[in-house]
Structure 1
Amino acid sequence: MAIYTWWASDPHQRFWMEITDRDDLGADLFAPTADGSGRPYWGYELITYVQPGDVIVHWHKTLAGEPGIVGWSQATGFYEETDISWQAHGTVGRRAGSLEPRPAWRMPLLNFTPLARPVLISEVRAWEPELRKVLAQLEVQYPDGRLYFPFGFSDRRELRAQQTYFVKMPREVLEILALEDLGDVTGPKPGATSTERKSAKRGGSGYIADSAVRSAIEWRAVNLAIEAYEALDYEVEYTGSTKPYDLVVTKRDEIRRVEVKGSSGAAKTVELTYGEVDNSRDWQPTDLVVVDGIQWWRELDGSVQADGGEIRWWKNWTAEASRLQEIRFRYKLPPSGWSGK
């Protein structure tokens, strides 16, 4: 799909809008690389045109009691190629969609800031004449393609947010919505253009990029766990590189093993290896420490950094069988197979 980058020549047009009902608002932009029929779709692909430092306003469908803009975040680093379990919303999407993992794009976000006063749909509708005027002016100024405007107009129903995931937010619309102060947010650092980033991605390794992100998140979680135990006067030894647990913490005669897990969102589950499960059952006391909400970003040199996070703690933890769910299997191949020759 050819995206019409009407904003490319104007550095002031660095705003976007996510339309969602997700719980982890401001964690990232996350969408499949194609629609349910496997075709490119602009409401997803626009993610790949976001530049580091761009501002994303978040339109949430329920958080403020009615749909509206409830906060904003900033893009950081470059988008990642990964997988997502995704099902489109709406009657048709639920019927045709699938929860099978699909290729996806993920753009990390930082600095989620809730609006003290959300901009609700009832207010936006009151500004419909001004919004229609802005759209008409932009269509004259940029006549060669789609504008990906954040709102849809109809003579048969009231104004509403576009029925998609991600749209372009013209700065002129922010001014109408009394959000012009977002224009003062520090701009992006100089870096690769969208075209350069997309070209580089074609030859890159998504697995290596994801591995670097996972490592940054895991080390951030481990470091926070170490700080937390040291604050409780434990001596701490890192064992994660050689043992099926991350830390051994000691205070006088007390010796505890600690399993640490990190997440960029609000973790409802964690992945455990057989060794981690067996350790929790064979050795007590063992603790489980989960660090949620870790923020990560990719520097211009490609390195991944992580910060933030909130600790949750399960003391004297055992991996109960009733809470475990098998999600992977190791299959032993038969002794011979067709080589294709």
Structure 2
Amino acid sequence: MRIVPRLAKGTDYEGPVLAQQIEAAAEDLLLPLLRKHGAEDRLLHALLTEVKGSTPRWRLDLQMTLPRDRIATASAEAPDPETAVAQAVRRLFRDAKRHVDLLIDRKRQRRQKQKNARAAITARLAALPADTAPASQAGITPLLERLRAVARRELAYLRAAGDLAPDWPTLDDVVDEAAVATREAWDPTRPGEKVWLALLRNLFKVLNCEVAANRVFGEAVSLDAPPPEDARDQAEAMVEEEFLEFHQPDESLTLADVLPDDIAPLADAPAEDETAAEQALLADVVKDLPQAWRRAWLLQDLEGLSVAAIAEVLETTKARAESWITEAEAFLSARIEDAGIVRQAGLRLTLRRTPG
């Protein structure tokens, strides 16, 4: 742990002394916790303030970034710096331990959830009718790599928007769920293109369920009810849960994050190429689209689907699907223009590799 001590203006104290006191106070509890979970190299920012008044008071504010970008803070005010340090470090340890315990519990729950999901998929596959199981497997197998590319792209955008956690669900989980759902409703007379649309439709249904499960809904609290005995602890726990559920999303996406190699722009394209610059920006700003607009636009641009097919996949009307694509195009064009990129007249926006 590296301590960065700071003194507020007008505070008469020694920074190195403050750092030594914090390190000594952290030796028993906080440092062992950080070492155990591989976070001993974290920066701890400390600000000591001498509170002027008739009675001397000292205030210490601590801040540290924990694993998963959780910012832990603690403060204490006491008659002397040593007491303020001891109290603030103790509170920071309590906050950090709560965070670590919840992360461990969340990981355990996810492992169990994944195990249960795998068992459920196995049971659903075993329940498929004997006369359709081989045919359904043969029917979807050639399409699974394409489905994985779409799922990988959607997961990247949902995680960048903060709608899904960075480690759940996995790519295999959502693809397997979509494949099983498609096989369960297998129709041997369905042409290959309709099978592809069914796979996409089921994939988006699976992702919608995961997004809904990832959301945290607030509970109503009566304003007339008495406050809890330890309101501070409860408030800290609520903040903790928000940080756990709403992780810090990626600030930007690259083409490599969302496109398969066969349609991404060439890696050695010159940096001054306006088309390459436009596509790089486009891949990032697509994440700002509403979900329906984004899916409709990408299905047309990258999958080459007709408006009718997009409407079938997204379970909406042709008119609405067409309006989503139009609105998305207008939004993206405006963002590209705001960035100062001059587009060739008559060329539509696309993430596909353009002929050189």
Same fold (TM over 0.5): no
- Identify the TM-score tier after normalising by the shorter chain: under 0.3
Of Structure 1 and Structure 2, the greater strand share is in 1
**TM-score scaled to structure 2, two decimals?**
0.25
**TM-score scaled to structure 1, two decimals?**
0.26
Higher relative contact order (CA 8 A, sep 6+): 1
